[in-house]
Structure 1
């Protein structure tokens, strides 16, 4: 299959989870024998923070603007499938161009589904116009569950399918390093996540002054009053994520408000930590118990007291057992290889559906 992907970023993991998602997924997709061209808008904030410049599993090309994108018209037209990702700059115009140009199947890959749907509901068409949705043969979504039916019934998608984030077990694996923190959190700052970080990590840190905590990720406001026992790290490159998790007795998973409301919206960090065998303490949302079994593969926290109880009451052996169980579940269901197989199946179905529709139209 010849696949063209127009995504937010493959080259830079700075301040976004798109790059690591695309890297694992496309590497395994290429390993299945497919040819991939990734087109990335050349923007200053990623150009200055690139940590992947020459991937060996796909061709990575940059375009400066929509006019420059025209250079790839022939390749988009000839591709068996073309994917447009969420948060692509000028995404609506890019989507229109792809739908007008591609002769193969077209798909929208929403790595931000609840955020996207909330934006559409308030008339914010930053990177997707609802008028475009019926024109994509396939809507791939980071959110599963009832949201998929909503995208089909209310927004007119011919086929909405879950394609959750994932982690690569070759990159994310347990490491034997000294423990630095009792509880860590890895994530870019967002206003709707910060109250949960405050409740589940900062308040626990204040209650447990002899324990060690860490918050890693960019864009946190300078005026946040971190407890003295919370270490701040501005950025952890993907290559260092396994060591970060290995140095954590527990790690925290915090979900954005729109994703909690939608449910069935796992974060890539959830799968990365599980793959590394680090026991996860997570906020609570619908569908999480279908991905990991609470109490055996993951710990749930609704309050500061829940976190304190876990840090004080769970023995090292029990914590290790939870991390090991989560890793086995992730290896079976949430690897890049599993997702690449799902992507292949969804695209093939879309290609067949488009061909059948074209034949029917000719009759």
Structure 2
């Protein structure tokens, strides 16, 4: 099928946490015979921070973020068999959603793909029936989400979605895998994530507090926005870490920390891309607690779980290199067995084929 996918960016992970997710899923769908055109705006300096060249498995259309270009990329939706509008494009989101769904041909499959469902659902609740997505839901065939599990499915279907299916993050073992340690990223505990309002307090609790308690240990933080944040002397900030460096970032420290954003932790069932990247590199992962974790990793065998900063500090203080390696390898084997983008791609491919059959049968009736 010809898929027109309107998202934030495929070529850059700069202020774009969905990049790994898009790359893993769309590369697998292309291997299954789908023809993909990805439309991303030239915005937020992402094109100046590319960490990937246009791939051979997708045509990438980078469009200037202006009204004329917007009209052009909207019109091109009419040539696709599947039209996908992702959340969080960052510019013209509402106009894009309404425009591409209206431009899609009658037999096309219309999909909203939500990479931040808790935030989107909160917006819809606050805005009421006039929210653009709420108005559009009855015309969509599918809502796919980055995570969220039963609470997100129930909420979307309560708002009128015909069908909502979580397509969770996963691992592409060709991209994220074990590598030798890199001295630049050596630490006792590392964390990678951008500074965001609904994450900062949890980073303070789960990362900055343990760093202050364990003054003789080395802590490392990567990501955008932390330059002005006061940090303990034993905590180093290294700025944006390009995707090509994620394996070394994850493979070099004793342990890697995952901290969910407030909304993701509240809803649960929302493993970040970092969870799978770290597991793929064989890292020992320490994560904050959230509902649904057991679907992906088993506590104390494949992951260490912390309920607060004191738990993180205790895990780091007690962790030996031997135990860290054992946990990391167990996590890698679990993820390789059950949570790869090949499996996720198969899920999406089956959904598309089922939906296409349903549409043909309905039109023939």
1:112 aligns with 2:128: no
Q: Which moved more, 1:262-271 or 1:305-314?
A: 305-314
Counterpart for residue 41 of structure 2: 41
Q: Is the 8 A contact 1:144 1:161 kept in 2?
A: no
Name the CA distance, whole Å, in 2 between partners of 1:80 and 1:113: 25
The TM-score with structure 1 as length reference comes to: 0.93
Report the secondary structure of 1:26's partner residue. helix
Which aligned segments of 4 or more residues in structure 1 are displaced greater than 6 angstroms? 124-127
Q: CA deviation at 1:282?
A: 0.6
Name the CA distance, whole Å, in 1 between partners of 2:138 and 2:67: 22
Q: CA deviation at 1:169?
A: 0.7
Counterpart for residue 59 of structure 2: 59
1:1-363 equivalent positions in 2, closer than 5 A:
1-64=1-64, 65-72=66-73, 75-88=76-89, 89-103=91-105, 104-123=108-127, 129-177=133-181, 180-220=186-226, 222=228, 224-360=229-365
Structure 2 spans left out of the alignment, 5+ residues: none
Q: CA deviation at 1:314?
A: 2.6
Distance 1:185 1:334, change over 3 A: same
Distance 1:294 1:220, change over 3 A: same
Q: Is the 8 A contact 2:98 2:136 kept in 1?
A: yes
Name the CA distance, whole Å, in 2 between partners of 1:149 and 1:71: 33
Distance 1:299 1:124, change over 3 A: farther
Structure 1 spans left out of the alignment, 5+ residues: none
Q: Which moved more, 1:190-199 or 1:273-282?
A: 190-199
What is the aligned length?
A: 359
Q: CA deviation at 1:304?
A: 2.3
Report the secondary structure of 1:248's partner residue. coil
Name the CA distance, whole Å, in 2 between partners of 1:124 and 1:230: 44
The TM-score with structure 2 as length reference comes to: 0.92
Report the secondary structure of 1:240's partner residue. helix
**Deviations 1:221-248, CA, capped at 9 Å, x for gaps:** 51x2200010101110000000001111
Report the secondary structure of 1:220's partner residue. coil
Q: CA deviation at 1:75?
A: 4.4
Q: Which moved more, 1:236-245 or 1:19-28?
A: 19-28
